[in-house]
Amino acid sequence: MGEEKLGCFGFIGLVVFIIVIALLRLPIRGEHVGYITAVDRGLFCTKVYVKTDLASSQEDVYSVSNSEDLVEELKEARDQKSNVKLTYRELQLSVCERDMTKLEILK
């Protein structure tokens, strides 16, 4: 009877472990409309700093892959102070925290 309880607790523990790992890996998705204030290239990804309003002191940071075309587009939007809409997903276990998936320059 002791081995049966141990097996039952082991199975429950395994199920809980799988659920926790699955929840940690679920991405959080969102959008941010604002202005790009800085673009910093890193080793694995480029960080993009965005403010909702240029006068605001709060700045959010997003990451993108080191694609030359995309980095140039981001820098151009920054230089022109274009209003942009970023679509992102936030990954829990990733080198790049908030991964920007889409850039839209608003007119």
- What tens-digit pLDDT sequence spans the chain (107 residues)? 456 665 677 788 888 887 776 666 666 788 999 999 999 998 888 999 999 999 999 999 999 888 888 899 999 999 999 999 999 887 665 667 788 888 899 86
Distance separating alpha carbons of residues 46 and 42, to the nearest angstrom: 5
Question: Does some domain include residue 17?
Answer: no
Question: Does some domain include residue 43?
Answer: yes
Q: Looking at residue 41, which CATH number applies to its domain?
A: 2.40.50.110
Distance separating alpha carbons of residues 107 and 104, to the nearest angstrom: 10
pLDDT at res. 6: 58
**Burial environment of residue 26 by CB neighbours within 10 A (0 to 12, 13 to 18, 19 or more):** exposed
Domain boundaries, position 84: 28-105
Question: Does some domain include residue 46?
Answer: yes
Domain count, the chain: 1
pTM as predicted: 0.71
Question: Does some domain include residue 65?
Answer: yes
Distance separating alpha carbons of residues 45 and 41, to the nearest angstrom: 7
